[in-house]
Chains A and B, each alone.
Chain A
Amino acid sequence: MDQNHSTSAKIPSGIPTRTARTKTSALNAWKRHHARCLKDGLWHLVRRPLSAWATIFAIAIVLALPGFLMTLATQIKHIGGALAAEQGQVNVYLKTGTDETHVKDFTQWLQSQPNVRSTHVIPPEQGLKDLARRLNIDSLDSDIANPLPTVVVLKLKNPTDQASLALREEIRNNPLVENLSESGAWVKRLQTISQFFDELSWWLMFLFGFTVVSVIGNTLRLELQKRREELALIALIGGTRRYMIRPLLYDGAIMGLLGGLVASGLIYTLLTMLTAPINQFAAEYGTQITVITPMMLTALLGLIGLSLGWLSAQLIGRNFLRHAVSA
């Protein structure tokens, strides 16, 4: 042993060289560790049911509100869509005395518009007959001059989009046109409301995402405090940061996933309870809401919960290891 050193003793490198065989065993070890972390993560739900499920329910409630708004917006869209299909008819009243040639030209112009599905002309004589039939009169006195205008019944492909609104404006400004029905306006308003709810729910989801990250992060932070000595030991015996953080990622992701699934269950329950009043409203407008298991919503909330749980574990775990463990 020399006090004044001289680098004489050379040992094989402390860092082993990787061979094909060690790569395979490293992959196997990696898979084994993932499997073990998953198993331990699930076992934590059984071993510490109170703290784990309290966190899961907190996540569920936080995710359920934007999820519910999202579902509601979809349902309003559904009602709006049904009404829009029904209300896609526009009655164009031409000026009295418009001759047949002009009517024919106008109708041809309408048919050439891309947003027009079909047109149907009701001449004044036909209109008079229909009126007589509705009034239960055999025939109206032919000596009286027919006061009814020619009506063109127009069916639009999408009555509430911008192109349809522009076409209405163009029709209204046509010198042959006296008036036209305005039935699609409130459908448009309904769709605007649903769009607002849709956007609001995404913003809420974004904001509440931070809450979910905090809730999961706090639970994991407590778990890390309990495991501080174990993590220090693993660092000492050569555990990598990824190795140390992996169980935490599984814990966070499992809690987030279950929180998302429970949130979906809460929304389904709430919708089922609200089906009757919603359908009463919807029936007045000739449509109906059917509450089915929201598979898309369940998958979406599960995925969001899982991602937020994983993100939270990453943030908390890395911060903890940086400050508390010499990894």
Chain B
Amino acid sequence: MIEFDGVSRRFSNGHFGLQDVRFHIPEGRMVFITGHSGSGKSTLLRLIPALDHPTSGTVRIGGHDLQKMPKHQYPKLRRQIGVVFQDHHLLPDRRVFDNVALPMQVAGFEPRDIRRRVEAALDKVGLLARQRARVDELSGGEQQRINIARALVNRPKILLADEPTGNLDPELSREIFNQFADFHAIGVTVLIASHDLHLLKTFAVPRIVLNQGRIAQIEEAF
């Protein structure tokens, strides 16, 4: 499903974000990517939806080599991938419903389908009652759940999360991770980048440990 073959990413200042990274994550797996700040977790995640490109090596998603994929097909690729960020990336001037509906509107779904699926997604993250609220009226935890609902409303094949619990307390963090586990259970391939080792250790999930842009270790599930 997700395949990195000798991938390196060198920035314009000469610094390597990633160096010779190789791994293959089969469909439907949940994997944690961990490491210190600056170890290359975010760089790695940005390569998957083609938001950034490797300077050498190959990234394949579902068998497609992203370097060979025409640029005009990137939007179609991205509609198959849900992304959750640490800092929410919600539109503050719009309501909860509109924020969650955005990926479906972009993909051109019918309004009745959008309503049905947005309400289902909000129900799943426990915020159906807040669908008319403005985003800036919600707490940090609620905003992150809106973020998750938006990432999942398009029924993506892959879910990427970059430090999804960075601003949340331990209890909420665990709740968010449980939701990711639920989506993994229904067949979504989930990649979560986090440096919260304490939380990660409570889940029986394989981990890719990055250090200075290289894979330091791959820990299989225990």
A interface residue numbers (CB < 8 A to B): 1-16, 25-26, 28-30, 32-33, 229-230, 232-240, 243, 326-327
- List 10 additional contacts besides A29-B109, A238-B107; criterion CB under 8 Å: A1-B26, A6-B24, A8-B26, A14-B61, A14-B80, A25-B110, A28-B110, A238-B75, A239-B106, A243-B106
Given the known interface contacts A26-B108, A233-B91, A239-B106, the answer about A1 and B63 at a Cβ–Cβ threshold of 8 Å is no
- What is the distance, in angstroms, from B36's C-beta to the closest C-beta of chain A? 20
9 contacts between A and B (CB under 8 A): A1-B206, A3-B215, A5-B5, A9-B24, A10-B63, A11-B27, A15-B76, A33-B105, A238-B79
* Cβ contact within 8 Å between B106 and A1: no
Tell me how far the C-beta of A242 lies from the nearest C-beta in chain B, rounded to whole angstroms.
10
Q: In angstroms, how far is the closest chain A Cβ from the Cβ of B221?
A: 9
Instruction: Check B157–A14 contact: CB distance below 8 A.
Output: yes
Instruction: Check B103–A14 contact: CB distance below 8 A.
Output: no
Distance between Cα atoms of A141 and B155 in the complex (Å): 115
User: Which residue of chain A has its CB nearest to the CB of B79?
Assistant: A238
Chain B residues lying within 8 Å of A30, measured Cβ to Cβ, are: 108
- Which of A12, A237, A243 is B62 in contact with, Cβ under 8 Å? A12
Q: A11-B157, A14-B157, A326-B51 are in contact. Are A239 and B80 (CB under 8 A)?
A: no
Q: Considering only CB atoms, which chain A residue lies closest to B111 in the complex?
A: A32
**What's the Cα separation between A25 and B72 when bound, in Å?**
20
Interface on chain A toward B: helix, strand, loop, or mixed SS?
Answer: loop
Q: Given A7-B63, A14-B62, answer yes or no on A236-B22 (Cβ-Cβ < 8 Å).
A: no
B102: interface (CB < 8 Å): yes
Q: Cβ of B149 < 8 Å from any Cβ of A?
A: no
B9 CB to closest chain A CB, in angstroms? 14
Of residues B61, B75, B105, which shows the largest number of chain A Cβ atoms within 10 Å of its Cβ?
B75
Q: How far is the CA of A229 from the CA of B215 in the complex (A)?
A: 31
B52 close to A326 (CB less than 8 A): yes
**Max chain B CB contacts within 10 Å: which of A11, A14, A229?**
A14
Q: A1-B24, A1-B220 are in contact. Are A233 and B89 (CB under 8 A)?
A: yes
